[in-house]
Amino acid sequence: MIKKYLTFDCYGTLINTEPLYQWIENLATAAGLDSATVRETYANYEDDPANVQPYLDYSLLVRADLKHLDQIFAQGHFFESHYVECLQVQRNLLPYPDVVPMLTEWHKQGYQLIIMSNSSWDIMPANLAALQLPFDAVITAEDVQAYKPDLKFFKYVEQRFNLTKENHWHIARGYESDVVPADAMQWPMLWINRNQQQPTTSAEPTHMVADLAAAKQWIN
């Protein structure tokens, strides 16, 4: 029997990260800053590939991001002082409502479920527990020593599991982190575009859907 694989981004695809960004906004409000601007600055720093070259563990990236907020907004060590709390907020994140039912259905159908996450093992176990079912593999940036969209991450997973166009779908929310490299790798790709993001390059997914439940029509 031919194995069938589904690879997933974790945060924003399976795990709802909105509570983390709301927490960042609440800190900004407490500091008398514009919450939307602080949120955007935090997210942009985390997503910038230049900030993980050379590689550093995700927890260190989070601390650097908070220190960057302090520097940009002249807050001394205010944001950095909440570093430990920030990591715990991320551990407490929960899945979107459509996620566990769909993962369970695909698991019962015999798909091999694989997570590809820009995370590290001091955070992932709590998030995996929230997803309520065993994954066949979980690959983190810590394992590969690289963050998506680095093709090193994608090539590692492709080679490890012998992924092909016939046996595999990649399912993810991030455009720059997942759609662009999946297009470069010629992976079949379902873009879970929960926030109706607009493409920023010519890279395209195979299909775009609003949530994980809507991806069901393409996976059989």
Tens of pLDDT, residues 106-152: 999 999 999 999 999 999 999 999 999 889 999 999 999 999 999 99
With a CB cutoff of 8 Å and minimum separation 6, the contacts of 7 are 114, 115, 116, 157, 163, 168, 169, 170, 171
**Per-residue pLDDT reduced to its tens digit, 8-66:** 999 999 999 999 999 999 999 999 999 999 999 999 999 999 999 999 999 999 999 99
Domain co-membership, 114 together with 29: no
Domain co-membership, 162 together with 77: no
Domain co-membership, 86 together with 118: no
Say what the pLDDT of residue 204 is: 94
Query: Which residue do the tokens 């093709």 mark?
Result: 151
Range of the domain at 158: 4-16+95-218
Collapse the DSSP code of 39 into the 3-class scheme (helix H, G, I; strand E, B; otherwise coil) and give the result: helix
Total residues belonging to the chain: 220
State yes or no: pLDDT of 202 exceeds 90.
yes
Domain co-membership, 212 together with 126: yes
Domain co-membership, 174 together with 138: yes
Phi-psi category of 148—alpha, beta or left, where left has phi over 0 and alpha has psi -120 to 50?
A: beta
Domain co-membership, 41 together with 118: no
If one counts the domains in the chain, the total is 2
* Domain end residue (candidates: 91, 119, 134): 91
Say what the pLDDT of residue 195 is: 86
**Burial (CB count within 10 angstroms: exposed 0-12, middle 13-18, buried 19+), residue 112:** middle
Domain co-membership, 107 together with 184: yes
Domain co-membership, 73 together with 109: no
